Chain A
């Protein structure tokens, strides 16, 4: 194996590539070669470094210096100064030389704590060797050789890991239901249909460290007795599909998937199922219908998937982030894991602040961190010197919170983080406009199967359209509130049940703004086009 004195990691996440990361990488390789350094320095592509606001970015090892906002023109200077002369190019160093990646576990509350994301931006996601070098597949070896399936489930239950897809169901319990369910055939399904607007954490895991998910799934298969796994990735995530498929192929070649895994007698294989563009398929029963070849329509629960899932067989369905936590729990133990976080929310949570923040991106923090720590501490606060107004927690199906929530703790005891999206609004944004846009999203994505959701989302958009056009009335507010309640109580699945949540949570918080639209026919933020003629709008 060749020895290199330095490695340069190039952030090749989607955000970086679209800002020219490939050109930077190519120039870097050419520049290194032209100076005869290509035997000493290796350029490695890696997943997103989590610096979406400052890409293209590269990290030079062994020093661990991160350079942000690198352009093709900057490359010769970096090669000349840093790699040849050993002097850092200070003007490009990210945030006073603090490497953005790999912050040690157990650091201060306000800092990032990378457990699931520890390899992101550090290893080459296409190399299984690098994953193994970072203790990858150690958890699987431990589970297969030193633990019984019952031990694994007991460990998972003791860890307190809850699902990370938004609902937060205890993972160990879910596995136990499937393990105890009758049936020769059982399935493990990874829900990678990350469609809730504002969420882009699962994409980062799949693009940057896909083996973690595979390892988590094989452990789940061992614990529950499943033979077959599916990773359902949304069709829009082409890079995720490619990286995950490649990782599965390599794992199979190495005997980590397929027959007799690690000589343990366990037979388990995984297939990537590419979605075809339907938000509703993030709902677990709709996802199963989609794998079976049908329209992505939700099914009535109970029975629940752990006993009656894919093709009617017992099925574990876990989110990407949930499964990525599994190897860390098995290697380090439930005790270690349960010491991170709060009493009811164990471990870390990955957040994806976006919207009007300075550094949108993906950040991992222990549960119990405050909203302020994530938005101001990590995402850099509000951009362009404006004032904070509100956050839509988790996406359109979450609640809207205002300034008084900034010091609340992100955990199930206090402020529920949902899947991790934090859509941040500054003072210039209009709440009615946001809520109207959320309603349009649900109208578009409703599968149309049940009446409360199909009709409710339609009427909701109609009402908000009127309000944003200056044709609302104060009575409408009560009407919309009742509609949201009815949908929550009667819709068949989560889509309709949660479609009115953001609106309901915003009424008391931004009552003045609603009344300005409804009574005074004015939009305080000046976003809504209020001067349409009433008859025309409400016809």
Chain B
């Protein structure tokens, strides 16, 4: 915890305690707790995991093991906008590979990476149940389907970081 200044830790600890109290102080609430932590803090930090373990009376290894097992729980900071591209067979067959290349071209990063300005994280994921409109992506909670390579720049446009409050 060397990198963490004490002020942030106090805040983080208080947040964890509040969430643990809300979800219930038992180990079977671990996944709901992780969901909530991520919602309020953006990701689940090592410090937060240690505090959760202490609060629930379980090992840090168990919290860490569970948190890192699931793809929707982030244990590292991610971009402001998360682009999820499905690459399971229904989307793959309808050309998700070309969509991947178009996204990479538009934002300059490969799947698994985050842009240097912290605006985008790009990842490939397994089926999101959008097979009827393949190929599909999700950006944060928004779904986009029946994608074509040409549609990508205009979809991404509204997620680009803006230089003014109103948006450019």
Contact = CB atoms under 8 A, between A and B. Distances in A.
Contacts of B89: 197-198, 392, 395-396, 423, 434, 437-438, 441
A294 B143 contact: no
B132 A360 contact: yes
Nearest to B27: A293
B143 A200 contact: no
B150 to A, nearest CB: 16
B106 interface: no
B57 interface: no
Nearest to B138: A236
Contact of B94 (A52, A203, A290, A355): A355
**Range for the number of chain A residues in contact with chain B:** 35 or more
Nearest to A14: B143
Residue in B35, B94, B131, B141 with the greatest tally of chain A CB atoms within 10 Å: B131
B28 A274 contact: no
Contacts of A293: 27-31, 66
Interface in A360-395: 360-362, 392, 395
Interface string A10-36: 000011011100000000000000000
Contact of B127 (A14, A198, A294): A198
Contacts of A462: none
Contact of A276 (B73, B132, B133): B73
A195 interface: yes
B93 A425 contact: yes
Contact of B70 (A52, A277, A361, A444): A277
A18 B131 contact: no
A236 B73 CA distance: 12
A200 B144 CA distance: 16
A341 to B, nearest CB: 25
Contacts of B133: 15, 18-19, 52, 360
Nearest to B142: A18
Interface string B68-93: 01111100000000000001111011
Interface string B31-46: 1101100000000000
A274 B87 contact: no
Contacts, number: 146
Contacts of A361: 132
A276 B72 contact: yes
Given A200-B131, A354-B132, A295 B93 contact: no
Contacts of B27: 292-293
Contact of B143 (A18, A356, A421): A18
B129 A52 contact: no
A445 interface: yes
Given A292-B28, A360-B131, A278 B70 contact: yes
A297 B93 CA distance: 30
B64 to A, nearest CB: 10
A238 B72 CA distance: 12
A210 interface: no
B126 interface: yes
Interface in A427-458: 429, 433-434, 437-438, 440-441, 444-445, 447
B31 A290 contact: yes
A277 B73 contact: yes
Nearest to B128: A236
Of A53, A234, A355, A429, most B-chain CB atoms within 10 Å: A355
Interface string A389-419: 0001001100000000000000000000000
A291 interface: yes
Given A196-B127, A421-B131, A236 B93 contact: no
B90 A354 contact: yes
Interface in B131-150: 131-134, 138, 141-146
B92 A437 contact: yes
A296 interface: yes
Contact of A354 (B65, B69, B131): B131
Contacts of B88: 197-198, 396, 437, 441
A296 B70 contact: yes
B134 A355 contact: yes
A191 interface: no
A175 interface: no
A427 B76 CA distance: 43
B28 to A, nearest CB: 5
A284 interface: no
11 contacts: A14-B130, A276-B31, A276-B71, A277-B71, A277-B73, A311-B28, A395-B89, A423-B131, A434-B92, A437-B88, A447-B69
7 smallest CB-CB distances across A and B, nearest first, come from A52-B132, A276-B70, A277-B72, A293-B30, A277-B71, A197-B88, A197-B127
Given A235-B72, A293-B31, A311-B28, 14 more contacts: A195-B126, A198-B131, A199-B129, A276-B34, A279-B127, A295-B65, A352-B132, A354-B90, A433-B92, A434-B89, A434-B93, A437-B92, A437-B93, A438-B89
Interface of A: 14-15, 17-19, 52-53, 194-200, 203, 234-238, 273-279, 290-296, 311, 352, 354-356, 360-362, 392, 395-396, 421, 423, 425, 429, 433-434, 437-438, 440-441, 444-445, 447
